[in-house]
Chain A
Amino acid sequence: MTDRTLDTAPTKPPHPLQDIWRDFRRNRGAMVGLALILIVTFLAVFADVVAPYGPAEQFRDAFLSPPSWLAGGDPRFLLGTDDVGRDILSRLIYGARLSLLIGVVVVTLALAAGVTLGLCAGFFGGLVDIVVMRLMDIMLALPALLLAIVIVAILGPGLMNAMVAVTVVVVPHYARLTRGAVLSELGRDYVTASRVAGAGPLRLMFATVLPNCLAPLIVQATLGFSGAILDAAALGFLGLGAQPPTPEWGSMLANALQFIQRAWWVVTFPGLAILVTVLAFNLMGDGLRDALDPKLKR
């Protein structure tokens, strides 16, 4: 008898993270995305070990050598070489470092700035709200890439400045999202309770309300990775981002147009790397959205 009651006794509810993971795992696309991100991260971290050559190492006997499986291909260079005899595979692997770095830096800075602005706008309301949100609207009036180009035009081209530009451009999205979430949370009882208990504004903002606004921010941050990588690559392609010797994927394509008739591999692989990485983050972001959004839960 006692055994029976023990069997049917309610088990502990699963941890919320387990819940999310279970939903996330059901989404095949999201799992593919996660796997790809792990692979790219692994390659980026261990680039020194994995890459056959250095990113700037030149082989003067092999300019524009085709991929190794093609006629005339050199077995030393799996994906061929570029116009100054650098191994494309190695440059792509080192480029993964830059792309992930761009994603991390841009998303972190944009999150910090956007969340702070959004929290202030939502909390203080009134003039602060109007000024901040108007400013964000002005920035959103311009297409992201155009605004980024303008900022680079002011700061001068370069990888750092491109990252700054892409960060500034995406801040409004985080600010708007945070403000919206804050406004919907502010009226809840737990916030009032905390306020009555004497919590100061900073504690209320960051410790009480912010954790409850995280779900949409996490999704936006994941999707923000792909946007940052894409925009930084576009700037690199236009010659405004990372400068030539740097193995950044976008800038590797910058002068590819002139080899398009002779060497398709110089054009094809860097873009494929961008596409796969961006796709991975987008797939994972979609999966996270479905897993975190209670409205879509079955």
Chain B
Amino acid sequence: MLKFIFRRASLVIPTFLGVTLLTFALVRLVPGDPLEMMAGERGLTPERHAELMAQYGYDRPLLEQYGLYLYELAGGDFGRSVVTKKPVLQEFFERFPATVELALCAMIFAVVIGLPMGILAAVRRGTVLDYAVMGTAVTGFSMPIFWWALLLVLFFSVNLGWTPVSGRLSAVYWVEARTGFMLIDSLLSNEKGAFGSAVSHLILPSVALGTIPLAIIARMTRSSMLEVLNEDYVRTARAKGLSPFRVVTVHALRNALIPVVTVVGLATGILLAGAILTETIFSWPGIGKWLIEAVRRRDYPTVQGGVLLVATIIMLVNLLVDLLYGVINPRIRHASERT
């Protein structure tokens, strides 16, 4: 087991180094001089320019610059924003909880709706219900989520006035940021109604962000269930006279869930990419909105550090999913040990 963990974990290192190469190249590939952007409209005298080039190490050979970059990363230095002058790492972790909160709620929405949809479609295969579920799934999968989010706002916020249009909390409340998770912070604060406000702000972004994972989960559950329902042990369970509900939920679902769990884990990337669009529309103060603003302001150190951090988190989550998968399914573990 330890061997399996080490083998899988060691695969992450070259990928991580590769991503650092990519983010390192990012700043150097931008046309023009990295200093010009920092200097702004006033420009620089040639002497000051040379001084700054030396200060940031841009005058050294590329390989040395890359070595320095890795050295700084190892020390936890992800650079400084050109706009706010704050360390990128600090800015990232200020916003990260907001994105995690949104992504978790979106995932819960996707699983709670998608899983039963997939099961129903598999059990009632070939019926109207099956077609309806699969039609919904393929539509959800094709959905441009930025438009879907706009439609949700149009219907639920503008027409019905049920939910707020944007933000995380109504402006009448003030909640101290203790954990960074608004749902927890609002409960801890003494403000009455703050929790309700936080929940109502979360609903539409979660639905918008969760739609594509929902479609994927529904499809995956259906095909996985269909496969399992033909297995001998399911037939045995039926033959024993167990109730159809018990056969489906206990005997079939447990085995069908293995691939679904992987899909749920691997959806992190989808959620973080979707967060860029969702957060932009709902003015959600998370890392997606932060990154896109950095791109628009041409704040390259922030883009560089932010992309690296996002990629690292995705890699770590994928690693965790793989390891968990190995724990759930011994066949994977042993297969990788043999090769």
Contact = CB atoms under 8 A, between A and B. Distances in A.
A135 B139 contact: no
B26 interface: yes
Contact of A282 (B15, B142, B272, B291): B142
A226 interface: yes
A170 interface: no
A271 B295 contact: no
Nearest to A28: B131
Interface in A98-150: 134-135, 137-138, 141-146, 149-150
A interface, by DSSP: helix, strand, loop or mixed?
Answer: helix
Nearest to A262: B158
A283 B273 contact: no
B147 A257 contact: no
B1 interface: no
Nearest to A282: B142
B144 A141 contact: no
B311 A134 contact: no
Interface string B284-323: 0000000110011010100100010011001100000000
A163 interface: no
B26 A267 contact: no
B24 to A, nearest CB: 12
B43 interface: no
A266 B163 CA distance: 22
Interface string B132-145: 00010011011110
Contacts of B135: 29
Interface residues of B, number: 46
A248 interface: no
Interface stretch (B63-71, B85-93, B148-156, B175-183): B148-156
Interface in A222-251: 226, 230, 233-234, 237-240, 250
A233 B143 CA distance: 11
Contacts, number: 125
Interface of B: 14-15, 18-19, 21-22, 26, 29-31, 135, 138-139, 141-144, 146-148, 150-151, 153-154, 158, 269-270, 272-274, 276-277, 280-281, 291-292, 295-296, 298, 300, 303, 307, 310-311, 314-315
Of B14, B22, B144, the most chain A CB neighbours within 10 A belong to B144
Given A260-B154, A268-B151, A279 B142 contact: yes
Contact of A145 (B21, B273, B300, B314): B273
Given A141-B311, A153-B303, 12 more contacts: A29-B135, A138-B22, A142-B310, A150-B303, A153-B26, A153-B298, A154-B26, A238-B277, A257-B281, A271-B144, A271-B146, A278-B144
A282 B219 CA distance: 13
B270 A143 contact: yes
A286 interface: yes
B150 A138 contact: no
A261 interface: yes
Contacts of B314: 141-143
A88 to B, nearest CB: 14
A173 B268 CA distance: 18
Contacts of A150: 22, 26, 295, 303, 307
A3 B24 CA distance: 79
A233 B19 contact: no
A63 B158 CA distance: 21
Given A153-B303, A256-B150, A230 B311 contact: no
A264 interface: yes
Contacts of B29: 154
Contact of B19 (A138, A154, A268): A138
Given A146-B307, A154-B26, A279 B154 contact: no
B273 A274 contact: no
A135 B281 CA distance: 33
Interface string A270-283: 11101100110011
A253 interface: yes
Contacts of B153: 260
Contacts of A264: 154
B295 A153 contact: yes
B20 to A, nearest CB: 10
B272 A274 contact: no
Q: Select the residue from A150, A152, A272 with max chain B CB neighbours within 10 A.
A: A150
A141 B30 CA distance: 22
Contacts of B141: 282
15 contacts: A134-B14, A134-B15, A134-B18, A142-B19, A143-B269, A143-B314, A150-B303, A153-B26, A153-B303, A234-B146, A250-B146, A253-B150, A268-B154, A275-B142, A278-B144
Contacts of B147: 253, 267, 270-272, 274-275
A271 B150 contact: yes
A271 B151 contact: yes
B142 to A, nearest CB: 4
Nearest to A154: B29
Contacts of B292: 149, 238
